[in-house]
Chains A and B, each alone.
Chain A
Amino acid sequence: MSTLKLDHVTKAFDDGSEDIIAVDDLSMTIDDGEFLVLVGPSGCGKSTTLRMLAGLETITAGEIHLGDRVINDVKPKDRDVAMVFQSYALYPHMTVRENMNFGLEESTTLSDEEIRPLVTETAEMLGIDELLDRTPDELSGGQQQRVALGRAIVRDPEVFLMDEPLSNLDAKLRSDMRTELQQLQGELGTTTVYVTHDQTEAMTMGDRIAILNDGVLQQVATPLEAYHRPANRFVAGFIGDPSMNFFEMTVQDDRLVTEQFTYPLTRKLRDAVDDVSQVTFGVRPESIELTQATAAIDHESVEFIAEVSDEHSFETIVDVVEPMGNENTIHLSFSGADDATFVATIDGERELTPGQTVVAHIPESEIHLFDGETGLAVHNRLRDESEATESTM
C-alpha cells in the first residue's frame, strides 16, 4: 500500500566550485501507517530529506518508492502527499474554509457540494469548525497550526510530511499538540514522516525515530532502543536530556584510565574492548547514584571511606544545582579537576548545595562504551528486556 522506501538517496547541492552533500546514501523503509520521526541537529539533512519526499527538491542519486511506484520524477502535486510547514504557510487572503478547500479544488474533481461536508467534518475533528469563516490573521498560533493540519488531513493523502510543525508554538501548547497529533495520526493511520530537531518530540511521538547527522543516517530504532542501545556516540549524545556524560579514556589492562579517574572493568566488559585502545565512556545522568558526604567530619569517617573504596565510586564536588521540581540536575566535578565536569540527576526531594562533596557511584551495568575512533557502540548498558536484541543499524 503506502509503504515509503528510500533507496540509497543522495542529495548534493551545487555550490559553484564544489558540491555540498546534504543527504548521503540514505536508505530506510517507512511502513504503512507508521509515524517516523526524522531527528537531528540543524543542517543534518532532515528537512532536505523531507523536501525530497515532497518533490520540492530533486534527487541527485537513488530512488524513492511510494507503494509500488518510483516517485523520483513525479511532480509534487501528483505524489499524493500533504505537507505541514513550520510557518503553517496558510493563504492569508482566504478564510479557513477556503484554505482547506484549496487542495481539494486543485487536486480533485470533487464538486463544491462534495467538498463542503469533507471540510466541515475535518474541521470538527480538529475543533476549528467555529473558525471556518475567519482569515488566518484573526487566529492564534495554535489555531493556525490546526488549520495547517486540517488542510493536510482533508486531502486524505497517502503520506503526511511534517516539517517542525510545533516549533512555533509556546511550550505548553506544544506538549498538548504533541499528544493530540499522535492520537490523530493513530486514528487516521496515515503514514507520517515528521521532522524535528527536538529530541523530546522525537522520543515521545515516533513509532520509530531516524537520527541523522551530517546527512548520514545514524540509527533507525524505536525511541527506547535508541535511548538504551544507541548505535554510536552521536546517537547516545543526541537522545536524552540532559544528555549522556562522556569521558575519553584509554584501555589499560583491565581498567579504563583518564586523568581524573580510573574505572576497573569486569571480565565480560574487558572482552568487549579487546580490539580498541581508546574508548569513549558514556553514562546517563540518571544512572549515577550520589551518596551524600555532608559534614566535614564525615570526610574522616569510616563510613565515607568505605563508600569511596568501592572501585566504581568517586569523590566529586557539586558545582551547580538546577532544581526541576520532580528532579534536580546536578553539575559535578571530580575533586582536584575543575575542568572535568559531568551531570547527574537525582530526586527532586533531595537537597544538595554547591561546594558540597558527594560520592558518585557509576554502576558497571549502566555504562556505555564507544570506540574512541569510529564512535560506534562496543558496549551498551544492560537492560533485561533488550539485552538479547542487537541494536539495529
Chain B
Amino acid sequence: MSIHERASDGRQLLLYGVLVALIGFYLLPIEIGLMTSLKMNPLSTAPFLPPGLDGFTLEKWRQAFSQLANGLFNSLVLAIPATILSALLGSTAAYGLTTLNWRGQMPILVLFIAGIFIPYQAVLIPLSKFWAVYLPLDELLQTVWGLPMLEPYHGDLLALIISHVAYGIPITTLLFRTYYRNFSVEMIEAARLDGATPIRIYWRIILPLSVPMFAVTLIYQFTQVWNDLLFALVVVGPGEGAPVTVPLSQLGASLSEIGFGVRMAGAFIAALPTIVVYIMFGEQFAKGVAT
C-alpha cells in the first residue's frame, strides 16, 4: 500500500466519521421523541435511553391517535384537494404567463409574484372577516350540508381549502414558470403549426412534461397546508372541523402533568402523512429540483 493510498484512506475515514456524527446529531431529537413516547414515565430514565421492559407502553400512541383521528381525517380532506388545486392552477397560470404571448402579461405576473411576499399574519383579520361575515359558506350552502356525509363544518373546511389554494398559487406559479421557461420555443411553435390550439398544447405537451415539477409543488404545498396552524385556527378554529394541527397543539395539556409521552406520539402521528407524500414523489421531486 502506497503512502498516497493510506492518506486517502485516512481522509475517507474522517469523512465517514463526520457523516455518522452528523446523522446522529440530526436524528437524536427524533430518537428522543420516539423513546419518550414509548415510556410509561418519560422522566424515569435519561430521555435518549430506551424504555425498560416493564416501563414500555403503546398507551400514549393509542391515546394520541384517538384524540387526533378526527383531525387527521379533516387534514386529509383539506390538504389533498388544496394541494392538487393549487398545483394545477399554478401550472396553468404559468403556462399562460410564460409560454403564451399576449399584451399586458407582465403586470399580471408581477401581481402573482407580489403574492408570495404577503405574510400570513398580515391577512389573518381580513381573512377571518371575509369568511365569517361576507361569505359564510356554512350558512350560504345550507342545502348542501343536508346531504348525507356532509356537515356544516365542512363549509369552514371549504373556506380553508380556498384560502390555501389562493395563497399557494403565487409560489406554484413561480415554480412552474421557471420550469416552463426552459421549454423549447420551437417545440411549442411546432405544435402550433401541427394545428394544436393553446389548450390542446397544454393538455398534450406541457402537462405531460410537467410531471417532475408537479412532484415538487405537490410535496411543497402538501407540507405547507398540512402543517399550517394559523389559518386553521382563524378560519376553522377548534371543534369538529379542525385539522390535525389544532388538536395537536392542545394534546396532553392538563393541570396535573406535562404529557410528554402523548405529545411526542401525537407529533409522530401528525407528521407521518407528509413523510409518506415525500416518499411517494421523491424520485420525481429530485428530477424537478435538478432542472
Measured CB to CB, the residues of A under 8 A from B are 54-56, 76-77, 81-83, 85-87, 89-93, 102-103, 106-108, 151, 155
Contacts and interface: CB of A to CB of B under 8 A. Distances in A.
Contacts of B195: 77, 103, 106-108
Contacts of B209: 92-93
B184 interface: yes
A108 B194 CA distance: 10
A91 B193 contact: no
15 contacts: A55-B193, A56-B189, A76-B189, A76-B193, A77-B193, A77-B194, A81-B193, A85-B189, A87-B186, A89-B184, A89-B189, A89-B190, A102-B196, A103-B194, A107-B194
Residue picked from A76, A81, A86, most chain B C-beta under 10 Å: A76
Interface of B: 184, 186-187, 189-197, 200, 204-205, 208-209
B193 A90 contact: no
Nearest to A106: B195
Given A85-B186, A87-B186, A77 B208 contact: no
Contacts, number: 61
B192 A77 contact: yes
Contacts of A91: 187, 190-191, 205
A126 B117 CA distance: 54
Nearest to B195: A107
Given A85-B186, A89-B190, A77 B196 contact: yes
Given A77-B196, A106-B196, A86 B186 contact: yes
B187 A83 contact: no
B249 to A, nearest CB: 44
Contacts of A86: 186
Q: Which 7 A-B pairs have the closest CB atoms?
A: A107-B195, A103-B194, A89-B186, A106-B195, A77-B195, A89-B190, A85-B186
Contacts of B189: 54, 56, 76, 83, 85, 89
Residue picked from A54, A91, A107, A155, most chain B C-beta under 10 Å: A91
A102 B186 contact: no
A102 B192 CA distance: 11
B135 to A, nearest CB: 41
Residue picked from A81, A89, A108, most chain B C-beta under 10 Å: A89
A106 B190 CA distance: 12
A87 B185 CA distance: 10
Nearest to B205: A91
A82 B195 CA distance: 10
A127 B209 CA distance: 28
A78 to B, nearest CB: 8
Given A87-B186, A89-B186, A102-B204, A56 B192 contact: yes
B184 A76 contact: no
A87 B196 contact: no
Given A77-B195, A106-B191, 17 more contacts: A54-B189, A76-B189, A76-B193, A77-B196, A83-B190, A85-B189, A87-B187, A89-B190, A90-B187, A90-B190, A91-B187, A93-B208, A102-B196, A103-B195, A107-B194, A107-B195, A151-B190
